[in-house]
Amino acid sequence: MGLAAADNDILADALQRIQEEVNDAFDEFLPPVADGRSSLVDAMRYAAIGGGKRVRPLLLVATAELYGVSRRAAVHAGCAVEAIHAYSLIHDDLPCMDDDALRHGKPTVHRAFDEATAVLAGDSLHALAFDILTRTDTSSDPFVQAELVRCLALASGHEGMAGGQVMDMAAEDSTYDLGQITRLQQLKTGALLGASVEMGAILGRVPPEGRTHLRGYARDIGLAFQIADDLLDVEGDEAKAGKALRKDEGQGKATFVTLMGVEKARAQAGMLVEQAAQHLASYGDKAKLLVALARYIVERDR
Amino acid sequence: MGLAAADNDILADALQRIQEEVNDAFDEFLPPVADGRSSLVDAMRYAAIGGGKRVRPLLLVATAELYGVSRRAAVHAGCAVEAIHAYSLIHDDLPCMDDDALRHGKPTVHRAFDEATAVLAGDSLHALAFDILTRTDTSSDPFVQAELVRCLALASGHEGMAGGQVMDMAAEDSTYDLGQITRLQQLKTGALLGASVEMGAILGRVPPEGRTHLRGYARDIGLAFQIADDLLDVEGDEAKAGKALRKDEGQGKATFVTLMGVEKARAQAGMLVEQAAQHLASYGDKAKLLVALARYIVERDR
Chain A nearest-CA residue for B184: A36
- State whether B146 and A149 contact (CB < 8 Å): yes
Name beta bridge partners: B241.
none
pLDDT, tens only, A17-31 = 999 999 999 999 999
CA-based nearest residue in chain A for residue B183: A36
B274 versus B253: the higher-pLDDT residue is: B274
Helix A142-156 crosses helix A71-93 at what angle (to 10 degrees)?
20
Contact B123 A162 (CB under 8 A): yes
With CB atoms and an 8 Å threshold, state whether A97 touches B119: yes
Tell how strand A102-103 and strand A106-107 pair up: antiparallel
Q: How far is B6 from chain A, CA to nearest CA, in Å?
A: 41
Mean per-residue pLDDT for A122-135?
A: 98
Whether residue B36 and residue A146 make contact (CB cut-off 8 A), yes or no, is no
Q: Is B137 exposed, middle or buried, given 0-12, 13-18 or 19+ CB atoms closer than 10 A? A: exposed
B41 touches chain A (CB under 8 A): yes
CA distances A202 to A18, A141, B31, B128, B144, Å, are: 19, 11, 29, 20, 19
* pLDDT value, residue A241: 81
pLDDT tens digits along B196-213: 999 999 999 999 999 999
Q: Is B44 on the interface with A (CB under 8 A)?
A: yes
How would you class A177 by CB atoms within 10 Å of its CB: exposed for 0-12, middle for 13-18, buried for 19 or more?
A: exposed
Using pLDDT thresholds of 50, 70 and 90, give the confidence band for residue B252. confident
Task: For B103, list phi and psi in degrees, rounded to 5.
Answer: -150, 130
pLDDT tier at A117, thresholds 50, 70, 90: very high
| Per-residue pLDDT, B8 | 79
Mutation site for B-interface testing, chosen from A38, A40, A156 by largest number of B Cβ within 10 Å: A40
**Res. B49: pLDDT tops 50:** yes
Nearest to A169 among B116, B127, B180 (CB): B116
Would the pLDDT of A4 be above 80?
no
Between CA B121 and CA B90 the distance in angstroms is 8
Could you give the 3-state DSSP secondary structure of residue B100? Answer: coil
**Residue A275 pLDDT more than 60?**
yes
Q: CA B283 to CA B66: how far, in whole Å?
A: 8
Instruction: Select the more confidently predicted residue: B67 or B173.
Output: B67
Set of chain B residues whose Cβ sits within 8 Å of the Cβ of A39? 166, 170
pLDDT given at position B3: 58
Touching check for A10 and chain B: CB below 8 Å? no
Dihedral angle over CA of B68, B69, B70, B71, nearest 10: -90
Residues in chain B: 302
A162–B39: do the CB atoms touch at under 8 Å? no
Considering only CA atoms, which of A29, A48, A43 is closest in space to residue A116?
A43
Q: Give Rg (Cα) of chain A.
A: 18
Mean pLDDT, residues B264-272: 95
pLDDT in tens, B21-34: 999 999 999 999 99
Domains of chain A by start residue, with CATH: 5-299 (1.10.600.10)
A139-198 confidence digits (pLDDT tens):
999 999 999 999 999 999 999 999 999 999 887 766 888 999 999 999 999 999 999 999
Residue A1 has what pLDDT?
45
pLDDT at B176 over 90: no
List pLDDT tens digits, range B69-121.
999 999 999 999 999 999 999 999 999 999 999 999 999 999 999 999 999 99
Q: How many CB atoms lie within 10 A of CB A146?
A: 28
Determine contact, residues B180/B42, Cβ cutoff 8 Å. no
Shortest CA distance to A266 belongs to which of A257, A276, A274?
A257
| Confidence check: pLDDT of A43 > 70 | yes
Q: B146 vs A146: CB contact, 8 Å cut-off?
A: yes
Q: What angle do CA B154, B166, B22 make, to 5 degrees?
A: 50
Provide the β-strand partners of residue A103: A106
Q: Is A297 on the interface with B (CB under 8 A)?
A: no
pLDDT band at B2 (very low <50, low <70, confident <90, very high): low
Q: Which of B244, B224, B247, B249 is nearest to B299 (CA)?
A: B224
What is the per-residue pLDDT for A6? 75
Cβ proximity of B117 and A166 under 8 Å: yes
Q: Answer whether residue B1 shows pLDDT above 50.
A: no
Does the pLDDT value for residue A76 go beyond 80?
yes
Given B117, B130, B156, which is nearest A166 (Cβ)? B117
Q: Which residue of B has its CA nearest to A154?
A: B131
Nearest CA-CA distance, residue B274 and chain A, Å: 31
Mean pLDDT of A74-80: 98
Over residues A205-213, the mean pLDDT reads 96
Task: Write out residues 115-174 of A within 8 Å (CB-CB) of B.
Answer: 115-117, 119-120, 122-124, 126-131, 133-134, 142-143, 145-147, 149-150, 152-154, 156-158, 160, 162-163, 165-167, 169-170
Whole-number percent of chain B with pLDDT over 90 = 80
